[in-house]
Amino acid sequence: QAKSGGRDHARMFTPQMQEQQLQQLHLESDLRHAAERQELVLYYQPRIDARSGCLNGVESLIRWQHPQHGLIAPDSFIPAAEESGLIVSIGAWVIREACRQQVAWREAGMGDIAVSINLSAIQLKSGGLAATLREVLREFAVTPGQVEFELTESILMDNVDDTIATLHAIKALGFALSIDDFGTGYSSLNYLCRFPLDKLKIDMSFVQDIHGSPQNLAVTKTIVGLGHTLGLSVTAEGVESAADADVLRHAGCDELQGYYFARPMPQAQFIVWLAQSAAPRAA
Ligand code: C2E
Ligand code: MG
Ligand code: MG
Ligand code: MG
């Protein structure tokens, strides 16, 4: 097996690196069972309309409730999931779970809450994504326009023609598309208008402490201008203070997301947050 080959190579590494590799291997075999053991869970972070302050929707963010290691953040296991290919089945679970939750919220009388879902490059390339989405549409009574997929620039720029075709297939089903972490990748502006996009999400690195950084403000205004020129809505993520929210609103951002408004929460906590925050926001 390829894995034991990798283990032999590890002999050349320092003990510390070997340790890391071993941990990685354990994690990977654990990850293989995480979905069936129902250890994966989606957290939801509110996205707020910059002008009205109302809830626009939520971003779904995966966590792994590991029986020994506790709650594991996506940055600690998504790379392993991508390397092993497990991301295809995990990603399909994320899509189903987010759609199931959206329908459950509606049936609980909470209305249509838009949900965005992060996609990995491997999922996009796997070739089965459109089929998965069609299946989900058959299984759940979701409004596809209320489900948005977030892709990073590097995903888009890798194999552009195939990507454009896949994105058109997703759009044809009625789903919305956004670019995540915008400004950190290397999007060719030439291609940008060829992707059937709805939204740009400005990377957090430009957003944080924007009230004290003329440079970040300049970059943000440029992205807002570019997005609006292309007919896209623009979100700022990583908003941590009222001061930053103010500056971003004035810079023309359409949507704000960040710890200042709410952290990612399990769905039960999100319901409580919504009940407590809805009244003052709607006023
Ligand atoms: P992302 O999609 O760019 O998500 C934003 C990340 O920033 C989230 O981290 C979120 O918790 C965090 N965040 C939100 N507001 C703030 C803030 O005000 N300040 C700071 N410092 N951070 C904030 P998280 O949940 O750890 O996710 C990290 C990354 O993992 C995500 O970045 C996304 O790329 C990936 N990811 C999460 N869920 C999924 C998934 O279901 N599938 C795939 N393929 N990737 C996922
Ligand atoms: Mg995202
Ligand atoms: Mg992001
Ligand atoms: Mg990210």
Block means of pLDDT (10 residues each) for the chain, 283 residues, are: 42 61 75 90 98 96 93 93 93 97 96 96 92 97 97 86 94 97 83 92 95 95 96 97 96 98 97 79 41
Nearest-atom index, ligand 1, CA of 123? 44
Predicted pLDDT of residue 279: 43
Predicted pLDDT of residue 23: 72
| Under 8 Å between Cβ of 42 and 65 | no
* The one-letter amino acid at 110: M
**13 C-alpha to ligand 1 centroid (Å):** 31
Predicted pLDDT of residue 13: 52
Predicted pLDDT of residue 282: 42
Predicted pLDDT of residue 278: 57
Give the pocket of ligand 1 (CB within 6 Å): 45, 61-62, 73-75, 78, 91, 94, 118-120, 150, 180-181, 237-240, 258-259, 264
Predicted pLDDT of residue 280: 45
Which ligand has an atom closest to residue 60 CA?
A: 1
Stated pTM of the model: 0.91
Query: What ipTM did this prediction achieve?
Result: 0.98
Say if residue 221 is exposed, middle or buried (CB neighbours under 10 Å; 0-12, 13-18, 19+): middle
Q: Which contacts (CB < 8 Å, 24+ apart) does range 275-282 have?
A: 277/55, 278/55, 281/52, 281/53, 281/54, 281/55, 282/54
DSSP bridge pairs for 266: 43
- Best CA proximity match to 48, nearest among 253, 267, 269, 270: 253
- Cα angle vertex 20, ends 15, 23, to 5°? 125
Pocket test for ligand 1, best of 48, 61, 97 (most atoms within 8 A of CB): 61
User: Would you tell me how many other CB atoms lie within 10 Å of the CB of residue 22?
Assistant: 12
Q: Report d(CA 67, CA 46) in Å as an integer.
A: 28
Q: Give, using CA atoms, the residue closest to atom 46 of ligand 1.
A: 118
| Under 8 Å between Cβ of 118 and 180 | yes
Predicted pLDDT of residue 12: 53
Backbone angles phi, psi at 41, to 5 degrees: -145, 145
Pocket test for ligand 1, best of 118, 120, 182 (most atoms within 8 A of CB): 118
Q: Give, using CA atoms, the residue closest to atom 11 of ligand 1.
A: 264
